[in-house]
Chain A
Amino acid sequence: MKEPVLLEVRNLKVYFRNDEGLELRAVDGVSFTVPPGKTVALVGESGCGKSVTALAILRLVEANGRIAGGEVLFEGRNLLALSEREMQRVRGKEIAIIFQEPSAALNPVYTVGEQIVEAILLHQSVSREKARALAEEMLHLVGIPEPRKRLNEYPHELSGGMKQRAMIAMALSCRPKLLIADEPTTSLDVTIQAQILELLRELQRQIGMAILLITHDLGIVADMADEVVVMYAGKVVERGTKYDIFKRCRHPYTLGLLRSVPRLDVDENALASIPGFVPDPLHFPEGCRFRGRCSLEDETCATEPPEVALGNGHVVYCHHVAFPEVCHA
């Protein structure tokens, strides 16, 4: 039986040009799917291309970059082939996005209410009055106390957690089918993070939307995700269900990442760590990009690693998957 698919990213490539005119292959052939109503986590360290991938889905790429290839199929339609006008109807309405920094996403000179109302009026044919009522309802839904009063406040009058809630209210005001959440809690304190994650989970239940969660925090992944896509240096190295990744991972990078996270529930004398550091995009090695930091490396790794399907959607890109399972977590 084939799993229903809401979003399918196929062989997506996003390249940038730096000041010297050199090409940076920030996202280089990324593929994954998001089923309706589920949460898929895109994880990796800084510079792995996870945020660029998320933005490219909405065709939001900075001026020095371009989508160099691939397809983004949303309910079967290739978003990369749409006109800008058609794309505007998708953004915010079908696919919404929230960012790490709510202060950067909210306009400081408009009240919170005005911004949510604008988003509603853009995509729904309702009166301004009705839109205002909807905005109030959204603020209430995301747990902002005294929503009517808050509608008239400016973003600077809200705390960090409240701003994040207001941004979520705005993103969800049109009941999108997919919410892209790019490090939604990274700038928040841990007790506020817990509130926001719980809120996202609750709203997902109510609205039935899918979430593409971009994060570097494996704790949040274990907590929130159904499926996980692990990225390294612009490529997917492994993807699968949450259990595939945390319990049966087969890529040496995934394993290294899991072992280097200090855990609150376990004492360890020394953490395992991955030697070396992430290569910069100008000097990605040929072949497997994890080459040079990997303990399983040999001469075959100089060639592009094969896609190895392990069944049930668990896919690894590595020459050495034939090795016994590397993950004993």
Chain B
Amino acid sequence: MTTVLELKGITKRFPGVLANDKIDLTLEKGNIHALLGENGAGKSTLMNILYGLYQPDEGEILIGGQHKKIYSPNDSISAGVGMVHQHFMLVPVFTVTENVMLGAEEMRGGLFLDRQAAAEKIAKISEQYNLEVDPYAYVQDLSVGAQQRVEIIKLLYREADILILDEPTAVLTPQEADDLFKVMRNLTERDKSIIFITHKLREVLDVADQITVIRLGKVVGTTTPKKADQKKLASMMVGREVMLHVERKPAKPKEPVLKVENLKVLDDRSHLAVDDISFEVRAGEILGLAGVQGNGQTELVEAITGLRETFEGTIELLGENIANQTPRKITELGSAHIPEDRQRDGLVLSFPIIDNLALNTYYLPPYSKGAILQEQVMLENANTLIERFDVRTPSAETPAGSLSGGNQQKVIVAREFSRPAKFIVASQPTRGLDVGSIEYIHNRLVKKRDEGTGVLLVSPELDEVMELSDRIAVMYRGKIVDILPGDEVTKEMVGLLMAGVSPNDARSMNAK
């Protein structure tokens, strides 16, 4: 086996922080090398050095056995290294071909773009590597998975041999992720080499040939999937024993807190996104809502929380119909909501933590007296919550935007869980978080359940739903296909239902 890439003793300091501390990494030809670490461990810094966005303070980079100085992304591409960023760098209103050509234009007569030649080349690449995509489609019309394929094609078009994939599965559905893994294997069979950055343990074990774990800027160890398991990797990542499984006593469900009956909700394009759904969530239980993203979960949650009008049907919260009520009314009735997108909906990033922690109680006593905000009370509340929910921040006055993702989520959890709510909607509560934060938030959810709160957990992560739910409702194309007891059902069964197989067929298939 030949080594295509070697990083030796890479060190990078930022003011006050040692982001990379003498990191060594070796990538073999045709291998998938997983780089595993928590958010902020230094993975991205390392890759940005390799990609030419940062210069290392110490250390050297060998590509194909030769020393390389990489000062810019152009240098790295000409050395055969390409990167797919977590947030895609595509122009939505351009076609796939135009996006791929961008910066490496195929010209005719030195003046005109030769779209056809480029499109043919793209078609060839997509056939060769099984990267299904239409060269003439507009990027804005493509699914997230397809957009990611375009990003990969961009690299292959530029003849990259080493591909860096930065958290590629964070934005994908489980199915899309599986497709991506197939593509990755296809690539390595054709002698491409891949660095796969992630913090999801299962994926690493599924797909990687080699694993390097880094923590606090240092390499903790290098291993292979054969020698490691999830537990071991997790403790390497976090630096302590991690409970991958939440300790959960059997639920003691009581009276229903939320009753949804024959609910229909339209999406932004006035299509029926939630189609005649009925279910209930009871006090002291977690109802998990499984389903591939885009099957109406978002619209359902928005209807329940007052952010979207309902079309038909009723939603009863603690006996009161809340369909088409304002979010404030619903909150005041005793509902809490962890929104799907914390930065879009859950926080005001430019506001200090103090204000974010009072975002939906600021107008009530003791936070307001008459019309006047009680800053001292708000500060005390913030300091208490920061301590109780272990938010890592320099101070309560720090803007929420300068916290890490995990800590931002903790701010939301602190705010929503500290109110006396009888019902909680948790929508993708651990999206994009690292193992430590996930563990924390899962435990908090179970604790809330044990205190007698009804929890509706919505997540496209099947593992998460299986792990936490007392009952699992599966949503497919706007309907709830089936509601199953959480402890008895198998992952395969839920997976089949998520894919649209009817409950009877799924049962018989599962029985075999």
A binds B: no
Residues of chain A touching chain B, judged by Cβ–Cβ distance below 8 Å, are none
Residues of chain B touching chain A, judged by Cβ–Cβ distance below 8 Å, are none
